[in-house]
Structure 1
């Protein structure tokens, strides 16, 4: 059986427990490694990975469990969601910027950021937008999936760390000035909801905390909020004011977040669980209301995020 996975990774691994297979599917982590998510969490196989962007991957399935697991990545439930491709020239980056939108421009505008190395189509490819298709088709939510420039900012080792953060600030301007404005105009609202998984949750949280007047809700899925490793020991004010772990403990006006619905989702198998708890502790110390949802049987992976996001939206809308 041959399936096309547009943006996944080939680990050339064999699962020791469940089935013989020469491709191990999993989610990308900061160390460019894979985890075979079909194995039990305590016995998962790991393998060095290489990127296979845009190439077909052939997999010989020997169990239905692995087939169901793999199809979670290939499925696309967004065919009835009025998908729109949007591209425009933005002066903040001095180039064109791309985004997917799902919905008719009504209900709650939800800005959905990609994970590390992801692009505007990632959340669609991995079924996260499809997981909320019911809310979109009902006109309760319009989802906007902007591109990311992490490879040009945080992961760009060819430029000085200060320039990496300047590039990130330019990206933030695109989101706040361009994407937010479009979403608010289409949905006829004053504020937007922001959401992301892993590093995408950092983008969502940092923008929400820096621009609370523009954000109504923050949803974090297995968030990775510590950006210190991106700057090779360098530090300046710009980095400080983009590091939630640094600037939030020192805020003197926590009341400006009172209107915001904040959900921090994590789980016992989430390898960034400690980061969600650390953020929650800071918010508690400042009296900022939020919900830390630390669930069982939940990890740092798309299949869990596809369950978490529609659950959280059911509470919000």
Structure 2
């Protein structure tokens, strides 16, 4: 009888002592599975930088102003893209600036301004090339061969650029006012110089409003990659759709009257002219050509 009780006790002890070992093994297996899963995860968007990087040379005030300006540039480009997607060639603005060419290219350029990876790009407020200090009325420049992904913004820009909430105010018209009146159009121009955005395809084929309109009729394939056409379209549809809905402020090109210049005499040749041409804002292209506006 005692033998049977002892045998039963030993069997129960064996089962009891075996149970924790099995539990530990299961726990170990579960832990191993959980730690291995993160290492196999893949995030295709990791490292995608959509915001425009700003250099440490911009102090807190300049950084805030420039950051807002870049945000408005993105808003301007986004709306330009949305307008084309909404209306296509039914839009008189699309016909006006891009003719009968495909809308896919301008849509693509605006989308690159908004969504392309900006890794490596840099906006800076110092003056590494000394253009701000040495060039008259210099508001900024793409650094070109010195640093193809960098853009310098000079103090003058922070003094004179306007925000998009003033479009169609203070006498502004698309046809007659400076294209770089606003931060958004000025910076749209500047980012289209940077190969990260332009893929070395967007260029200057028109130099002003009338040139841009003529190019759309003559060679719409060039309009789709023309920096001025992309800027003019963006600000014109912003004015019509957002700033002054249904009205806009395109304006009409004002013809400049040619005045007959009097012949200078010895007596008055040393006197300063009564009218003096306003200084122009200039920047240098990658081929060394200086572009002024």
- Specify if TM > 0.5: no
Q: Which structure: greater strand fraction?
A: 1
* TM-score, length-scaled by structure 2: 0.28
Q: Which has the higher contact order (CA 8 A, sep 6+)?
A: 2
Q: Whose radius of gyration is greater, 1 or 2? A: 2
* TM-score, length-scaled by structure 1: 0.27
Q: Which structure: greater helix fraction?
A: 2
